Amino acid sequence: MSDDSAEVLPGIAFEVEADEQGVDEVARVRGEYQARLVLANLRTEAVRAGMIDLDGLKLVDLSTVRLGNDDKIVGARKLMDDFKRNKPWLFGAVSSSSAAMAPASQPVRQKTALEMTDEEYAAARAAVTKYQF
């Protein structure tokens, strides 16, 4: 080989090495993302199942947990049900207030003069005219 090819070959090796490092970096970041996503989904399911202390999630075997196409844990409810059956002291009574929806808000509607009795009308009129000069 000539000296020119010797100068080019280290550059090519560096590009391949840099590409492999980039792939490794992407794989590492993707793994961290999926681990955080799994923990977030587990926390959500644990709260829904009534877990008292989320530190109990450290006892879950994460080797069986898989993410689906929608980035949700496959079989998360079954996992929490099994966990609740095996370690019931980590769970309290399921709160019914967490699943309840707030009532629809309705604006406060004042009575019109036609809807008031004579006494209510007199009191309302006195309250309004009380501060007029």
pTM of the entire predicted model: 0.50
Could you tell me if 73 and 65 are in contact, meaning their C-beta atoms sit under 8 angstroms apart?
yes
Please name the residues in contact with 111: beta carbons below 8 A apart, sequence gap of 6 or more: 120
User: What SS3 state is found at 51?
Assistant: strand
Condensed to tens digits (0 to 9), the pLDDT of residues 102-111 reads 667 777 788 8
From residue 47, how far is each of 33, 53, 62, 91 by CA, in Å?
Answer: 21, 9, 18, 9
pLDDT given at position 123 = 92
Condensed to tens digits (0 to 9), the pLDDT of residues 1-44 reads 444 444 433 433 334 444 567 778 888 888 888 888 888 888 88
